[in-house]
Amino acid sequence: MTDRPVRIANFSGYLGDRFTAVDEALAGDPVDVLVGDYLAEITLAALSARHHADPGLGYVEYFLDQLRPHLGTLAQRGIKVITNAGGFNPAALAGVLREEIADAGADLTVAHVEGDNIVARLPELRGAGHTLDNLDSGAPLTAWQATPIAANAYLGGWGITAALAAGADIVVCGRVTDAALTSGPAAWWHGWDRQDWDALAGGVVAGHIIECGAQAVGGNFSGFGTVERMLVPGFPIAEIASDGSCVITKHARDDGAVTVDTVTAQLVYEIQGPRYPNPDVTAHLEQLRLTPIGPDRVEVRGALGSPPPATTKVALFGVLGYSIVNTIYVTGLAVAQKLSLIEAQLSRELPAGVAIDLTPIGVVAEDPASQWEATIAVRIMATAATAEALTRYNLARRVGSLYLQTIPGYFHDGGARLHTTVLPRVDYWPGLLPMTELEHRMVTGDGHVSPIAPPRTTHPVHQPVEPEPEAPPVSDRVRRAPLGTIAYARSGDKGGNSNVGIWTPDERAWPWLRRYLSTQEVRRLLPETEHLEIVRHEFPHLRAVHFVLRGLLGTGGSSNLRVDQVGKAVGEYLRAKQVLIPEDLFAGGSD
């Protein structure tokens, strides 16, 4: 279209993100494209159950409510909208949007991208010899205990590019990659070829940075205390140039901040190493460099691209069983003995197939200043293969029956009712499927179908293997303090793996941090990882060390029994650990 950078603004990072985000984006700085991401893996699990119950649904109705008041404004300004809110039924959402547009009298066209939903094709694909091996374990799908109720392949951005080239104003997708929502329109704007690897890699990097909404503007940032205005952090904008480099910024009127550290936080989030495979390109992150070029403006350069792998990930979901959760509180002394008695009492006459899991949350203060400093929460989860078994067990009744026959001080929150509704546990299987087997297509409003060909050139992706660092030199001048005194962190999930990136804003601290954070030391700091595989990589230009904690989240956030289901707090847990830090690193370090 033009030689200038395309300005792509995010307005959603997950289903449930701030409802007013579209209002704010249209009241903010001028942009060319709005992108909304709604489909986290754990969100897909919830939508899959809804779609299974009613095949006519399965899309994100929340998006419709957000967009409805602004259809006329979008048409007037010529702003494009790209979203994966189509979920399991992008054609249905596109149809509803056309009805809304007609009612509003707006001049907008809608296209949708489909072909990701392959659940009906599973028998055919498996009959053809495709085993949908697990991305993490390598096991074939036949090893999975659950029966698939949903299977969605991750598509790239070329269907979006084709829709925009055909004149679409709004493009509705299902399970495209999060970054494709940005790389697709960037390729359309700049006319990139399918083998413009470096430019495409830059588009993927830009998409990865802005895909999670306010996280790039100070949300969930370890250094949130350094951001002056954090009440309502705004949403990010990527200004993507024709060579794939970009500037990350935000709407000037909004709260939050865009700094090297807020952008670094997003770059090290939910990756599995320096090679970031997408269906269109593999982005190499090792040479990324971040440069502040003005207030709330960070330039991102150095992304390199290579052909994508021949396979793409398929997110399969199936009901593994059922669960119900309630919370009680334990106060004062002998906490371990009290928990033991509660567990024994709840396990008495436990029906076959029902399991109980107790998780204490918090620690009683040594000399509590209030009753609440002497109190911990205890999350009680009951699980079973069938809903009927849990209904018969009746956890709420069991918990409620113990008041006069269990530990002293036993209580639950009087302002909250005990839960009685049994919920499905939806398990996740990240399978692999050749992209040549997908029927990726773009569909316009008049029903014209454009097939999107798989990549002509592919290449296997292998994360680099890096040697462990030498131990840092022993110093007599050290101080015991939380690791977070000098380092920031961000953690997240990819299926059953938790990733955590730790970096320092202080150049002086980087040599010590990279040598201190060995795999062995992280295993010592995080005892939960004792028997897990840990993969370690360094990002010297970001002053970051990145770890993948394989299996910490079980088989995925939607089915594991952890309270922090998707590992969002692992990074802050690591920062809270007390370590011996050289004295000379404290002056000018992070707070």
Describe the strand order of the beta sheet including 488-494 as a list of residue ranges.
488-494, 497-503, 544-549, 534-539
Residue 2 has pLDDT above 70, yes or no: no
Handedness of CA 578, 583, 585, 590 (dihedral sign): positive
What would the mean pLDDT of 491-495 be, rounded to a whole number?
93
Q: In the prediction, which pLDDT does 3 show? A: 84
**What pLDDT, in 10s, does the model give residues 461-472?**
999 999 999 999
CATH number of the domain bearing residue 384: 3.30.70
Rounded Cα distance between 172 and 108, Å, is 13
Residue 391 has pLDDT above 90, yes or no: yes
Q: In the listed set 423, 441, 460, which residue is the last one of a domain according to the structure?
A: 423
Percent of the chain whose pLDDT exceeds 70:
98
Q: What is the dihedral of CA 54, 56, 59, 60, to 10 degrees?
A: -80
* Assigned domain for 428 exists: no
What would the mean pLDDT of 106-126 be, rounded to a whole number?
97
Q: In the prediction, which pLDDT does 250 show? A: 98
* Assigned domain for 357 exists: yes
Rounded Cα distance between 525 and 431, Å, is 32
Residue 46 has pLDDT above 80, yes or no: no
* Assigned domain for 368 exists: yes
Which domain range does residue 241 map to? 6-116+154-308
Residue 45 has pLDDT above 90, yes or no: no
Q: Are residues 100 and 228 in the same domain?
A: yes
Per the model's pLDDT, the better-predicted residue between 432 and 46 turns out to be 432
**What pLDDT, in 10s, does the model give residues 403-455?**
999 999 999 999 999 999 999 998 999 999 999 999 999 999 999 999 999 99
**What pLDDT, in 10s, does the model give residues 243-269?**
999 999 999 999 999 999 999 999 999
Residue 143 has pLDDT above 80, yes or no: yes
**What pLDDT, in 10s, does the model give residues 534-572?**
999 999 999 999 999 999 999 988 888 899 999 999 999
Measured from the Cβ of residue 523, the count of other Cβ atoms closer than 10 Å reads 17
Q: In the prediction, which pLDDT does 265 show? A: 98
Name the pLDDT band for 591 (thresholds 50, 70, 90): very low
Q: Are residues 64 and 195 in the same domain?
A: yes
Q: How far apart are the first and last CA of the chain?
A: 45
Q: In the prediction, which pLDDT does 52 show? A: 73
Residue 590 has pLDDT above 70, yes or no: no
* Assigned domain for 51 exists: yes
Q: In the prediction, which pLDDT does 470 show? A: 95
Q: Are residues 284 and 419 in the same domain?
A: no
Cα atoms found within 13 Å of the Cα of residue 541, Cβ hemisphere only: 14
Residue 506 has pLDDT above 60, yes or no: yes
Residue located via tokens 């009753």: 371
**CA 528 distance to own-chain centroid:** 21
Q: Looking at the 3D structure of the chain, how many domains does it have?
A: 3
Beta-sheet pairing, 544-549 with 534-539 = antiparallel
Beta-sheet pairing, 441-443 with 282-284 = unpaired
Residue 589 has pLDDT above 70, yes or no: no
Rounded Cα distance between 33 and 49, Å, is 31
Name the pLDDT band for 54 (thresholds 50, 70, 90): confident
**What pLDDT, in 10s, does the model give residues 311-345?**
999 999 998 999 999 999 999 999 999 999 999 99
Name the pLDDT band for 57 (thresholds 50, 70, 90): confident
* Assigned domain for 590 exists: no
Rounded Cα distance between 513 and 544, Å, is 8
Rounded Cα distance between 166 and 71, Å, is 20
Q: Are residues 409 and 491 in the same domain?
A: no
* Assigned domain for 470 exists: no
Residue 573 has pLDDT above 70, yes or no: yes
Q: State the pTM of this model.
A: 0.96
Q: In the prediction, which pLDDT does 58 show? A: 87
Q: Are residues 48 and 177 in the same domain?
A: yes
Q: In the prediction, which pLDDT does 91 show? A: 96
Q: In the listed set 423, 438, 462, which residue is the last one of a domain according to the structure?
A: 423
Q: In the listed set 378, 406, 423, which residue is the last one of a domain according to the structure?
A: 423
| Averaged confidence pLDDT in the chain | 95
Q: Are residues 301 and 347 in the same domain?
A: no
Question: Which phi and psi angles does 127 have, rounded to 5°?
Answer: -65, -25
Name the pLDDT band for 369 (thresholds 50, 70, 90): very high
Q: Are residues 277 and 346 in the same domain?
A: no
Q: Are residues 266 and 329 in the same domain?
A: no
Which conformational region is residue 349 in: left (phi greater than 0), alpha (psi within -120 to 50 degrees), or beta? left
**CA 325 distance to own-chain centroid:** 24
* Assigned domain for 570 exists: yes
Q: Are residues 530 and 382 in the same domain?
A: no
Q: Are residues 108 and 246 in the same domain?
A: yes
Q: In the prediction, which pLDDT does 475 show? A: 82
- DSSP label at residue 553: T
Q: Are residues 370 and 284 in the same domain?
A: no
Q: Are residues 262 and 234 in the same domain?
A: yes
* Assigned domain for 226 exists: yes
